[in-house]
Structure 1
Amino acid sequence: MQNHSKGIMYASITAFFWGFLAIALKVAVREVDPVTVVWFRFLFAFVILAIWEVSNNPGTFKILIKPPLLLVFAAIALTWNYTGYMMGIHHTTPSNAQLFIQTGPLLLATAGFVLFKEKVKPKQIIGFAVAIVGFSFFYSDQLDAFFESKGSYKLGILLTVSGAIAWSVYAILQKKLVVNHSANSLNLFLFGLPVIILAPFIHLEPLFQLNFNWWLLLAFLGANTVIAYTCLAKALKYTEANKVSIIIILNPMITFITMGILTWLNVDWITHERFSLITVLGVVLVFAGAILVAKKTKKA
């Protein structure tokens, strides 16, 4: 498989897992406080990745002893990304959090053109334009809800946006670091440092009171971290940042479709969403734009 195809595949896996993430997080905070959920995700991801690397490549642990300074900054940014997003979801709905967290991939796409000097074809410019129009339709209902909201709801949006900005900082640094370091070695540090940073702020008592189903949910959140961020690092290694961004931006589609099904089923364990035909039109346009951006240009 060519590097471009690998990059698109890995980015697609990340988008798929992130599509269910906001819903799972919204449910998790019913029993565990947001910071503890974030801490557990990092801890689970670090332990699983460490076990894998002990068996396959023990040399990756060297980076924990003397990490690059950029990696330290990336880990701090990722810590706030997780925390801001988690607290944002706590105060708002999964779909609205998914809307505003996309600020991060958009900033990464901009960095791809400005910082990494990635070339853009006319077809890609058209693709971005189509996707932006699609998002304006897709998010119209959610934006109306935002402007009609007050207090805690808007606080959740602001926290989510701050997390998105932090994610773009992490991703830009990751794009630079992955040139000289393996994805797994970087992720060992990126998962490990937040465990230490967040340790003073967690509450472990609720974890010991959870039943098996809640532990399964937490395990899914931890596994989501390992799989999504491992694939993201590989995607940034194999293809351009702007293409990775447009693929990742597709993940809210999964969230909205799932929330639409849950709303239609009228479940009582999560806040319902509102959708319209304009939302569906937006989905079609966004997918069309993403295909134009991500499709590889044939060489002469």
Structure 2
Amino acid sequence: MTSDSQQNTKGLLLALTTAIMWGLLPLALGSVLQLMDSYTITWYRFLFAAVLVGIGLKNKNQIPALFSKDKRWLKPLAIAAVFLSLNYILYLSSLYFVPAETAQMLIQMAPLMMLLGSVIFLKEAFSRGQMVGSVVLVIGLVLFFNQQFSNSSTLDRDDFIMGFVIMLGASVTWAIYAIMQKQMLKRFTANQIMWVIYVFSSLFFLPVSSPAQVSSFDWIAILLLVFCCANTLIAYGSFAKSLEFWPASKVSAVLAITPLLTVFFATIAQQFFPQFISAQELNTLAYIGAMLVVAGSVLTALGNKILSKQNIAKLKVCLTLKK
């Protein structure tokens, strides 16, 4: 196997690991939410991440000096921490109202929000490919939720609206956090930023959490909670590593299949654990919408290459020759 082939294989496997972790996460969270409140789950996840990332930074002597003479970074760090904390709690709260598959589709609004925020606040370019991808993504979401609009869904409309509003908030808060992190990478590494956020957020949620709830868990529930805690580190670790072997555009394109993986995992899990997980009943239009959501996400990530002037010119030539 050539060096390039090895690089591509590693990049693909790591990106798939991230997609699988994120695809499974809402299913695990939905099960744990039946036994533990959202604040306590979030506190455990942040504490777990803060301890392990902190150990890694300590071993590398990379604990950030936050209170040095240059304190201008404290404010954006605090803002990023607040908004990521809000994102975690809003995402979890939405699972009280909508199934995991619906939640995973709705959270696809987050990268779109970040893209729009980058264009408005960071003055980044908004390419033709990204514009087409955004339109396809919105159309896909509308089709995926067609049953909610036609009253043919088993999901209560009021629950859907509440879940949609909460997830819209989760998408906005994640986009704000991501834009803030983008700016702070000029001063800190990604792990340093995340460690500060994890520590701040674990302290933030401690007063409203009830850690003792875990004492009533059986071994399956404990394993699910540990998986939820480890998921962020595994997913983000694989994501960061995949960028060493693959371009960000290719990684993003692979991650676009995450909503489909959640639909797939929910269908499989229901066969084995019907008492814990109930897969959402989807019609043909919803499946087409799910495909369009993925296609829109891929176009947003790779649109510059797929819809480049050169490729469009080649397509026109091919169509002309066929005539």
TM-score, normalising length: structure 2: 0.76
Give, in angstroms, the shift of residue 266 of structure 1: 7.5
- Residue by residue over 1:199-236, the C-alpha shift from the partner in whole angstroms, topping out at 9 and shown as x without a partner, is 01111222123233222211111111223345667899
Give, in angstroms, the shift of residue 25 of structure 1: 0.5
Q: Which deviates further from its counterpart, 16-25 or 249-258?
A: 249-258
For the 8 Å contact 1:88–1:97, the answer to whether it is kept is yes
For the 8 Å contact 1:84–1:163, the answer to whether it is kept is yes
Pair 1:58 & 2:58 matched? no
Q: Which deviates further from its counterpart, 289-298 or 182-191?
A: 289-298
Aligned to 2:285: 278
Amino acid at match of 2:277: I
Give, in angstroms, the shift of residue 162 of structure 1: 2.0
Indicate the SS of the match to 2:125. coil
For the 8 Å contact 1:124–1:292, the answer to whether it is kept is yes
Give, in angstroms, the shift of residue 284 of structure 1: 3.3
For the 8 Å contact 1:89–1:160, the answer to whether it is kept is no
Indicate the SS of the match to 2:96. helix
Q: In the superposition, relative to structure 1, how do residues 156 and 124 fare at CA in structure 2: closer, same or farther (>3 Å)?
A: closer
For the 8 Å contact 2:40–2:210, the answer to whether it is kept is yes
Aligned to 1:93: 99
Indicate the SS of the match to 2:95. helix
Matches of 2:235 and 2:148 in 1, distance apart?
25
Give, in angstroms, the shift of residue 121 of structure 1: 4.0
Q: Which deviates further from its counterpart, 141-150 or 58-67?
A: 141-150
Aligned to 2:118: 112
Q: Could you say what the CA RMSD is over the residues aligned between the two structures, in angstroms?
A: 3.7
Q: Which deviates further from its counterpart, 114-123 or 37-46?
A: 114-123
Q: Which deviates further from its counterpart, 190-199 or 142-151?
A: 142-151
Q: Which deviates further from its counterpart, 242-251 or 127-136?
A: 242-251
Give, in angstroms, the shift of residue 14 of structure 1: 4.4
Give, in angstroms, the shift of residue 131 of structure 1: 3.5
Task: Structure 2: give runs of 5+ residues left out of the alignment.
Answer: 311-323
Aligned to 1:27: 31
Matches of 1:103 and 1:272 in 2, distance apart?
22
Q: In the superposition, relative to structure 1, how do residues 26 and 99 fare at CA in structure 2: closer, same or farther (>3 Å)?
A: same
Task: Structure 1: give runs of 5+ residues left out of the alignment.
Answer: none
For the 8 Å contact 1:127–1:289, the answer to whether it is kept is yes
Q: Which deviates further from its counterpart, 36-45 or 201-210?
A: 201-210
Q: Which deviates further from its counterpart, 223-232 or 198-207?
A: 223-232
Q: Pairwise mapping of residues 41-52 of structure 1 onto structure 2 (< 5 A)?
A: 41-52=45-56
Give, in angstroms, the shift of residue 9 of structure 1: 8.8
Q: Pairwise mapping of residues 213-224 of structure 1 onto structure 2 (< 5 A)?
A: 213-224=220-231
Q: In the superposition, relative to structure 1, how do residues 102 and 131 fare at CA in structure 2: closer, same or farther (>3 Å)?
A: closer
For the 8 Å contact 2:47–2:199, the answer to whether it is kept is yes
Q: Pairwise mapping of residues 254-293 of structure 1 onto structure 2 (< 5 A)?
A: 254-263=261-270, 267-293=274-300
Q: In the superposition, relative to structure 1, how do residues 152 and 276 fare at CA in structure 2: closer, same or farther (>3 Å)?
A: closer
Give, in angstroms, the shift of residue 244 of structure 1: 8.1
% same residue: 27
Aligned to 1:211: 218
Matches of 1:125 and 1:281 in 2, distance apart?
20
Aligned to 1:76: 82
Q: Pairwise mapping of residues 223-234 of structure 1 onto structure 2 (< 5 A)?
A: 223-229=230-236
Give, in angstroms, the shift of residue 125 of structure 1: 3.4
Amino acid at match of 2:136: V
Aligned to 1:132: 138
Give, in angstroms, the shift of residue 139 of structure 1: 3.3
Give, in angstroms, the shift of residue 151 of structure 1: 5.3
- Residue by residue over 1:69-102, the C-alpha shift from the partner in whole angstroms, topping out at 9 and shown as x without a partner, is 1010000011111111112212332122223333
- Residue by residue over 1:105-148, the C-alpha shift from the partner in whole angstroms, topping out at 9 and shown as x without a partner, is 22112123333333344344334333333333233235556897
Pick the aligned partner of 2:156 from 149, 159, 170: 149
Amino acid at match of 2:30: K
Q: In the superposition, relative to structure 1, how do residues 283 and 249 fare at CA in structure 2: closer, same or farther (>3 Å)?
A: same
Q: Which deviates further from its counterpart, 153-162 or 177-186?
A: 153-162
Amino acid at match of 1:37: I
Q: In the superposition, relative to structure 1, how do residues 155 and 139 fare at CA in structure 2: closer, same or farther (>3 Å)?
A: closer
Q: Which deviates further from its counterpart, 128-137 or 185-194?
A: 128-137
Matches of 1:11 and 1:179 in 2, distance apart?
25
- Residue by residue over 1:140-187, the C-alpha shift from the partner in whole angstroms, topping out at 9 and shown as x without a partner, is 235556897255564444333222221111111111112331011001
For the 8 Å contact 1:135–1:286, the answer to whether it is kept is yes
TM-score, normalising length: structure 1: 0.81
Matches of 1:203 and 1:139 in 2, distance apart?
35
Pick the aligned partner of 2:260 from 243, 253, 259: 253
Give, in angstroms, the shift of residue 12 of structure 1: 6.3
For the 8 Å contact 2:252–2:298, the answer to whether it is kept is no
Q: In the superposition, relative to structure 1, how do residues 268 and 202 fare at CA in structure 2: closer, same or farther (>3 Å)?
A: same
Give, in angstroms, the shift of residue 280 of structure 1: 2.7
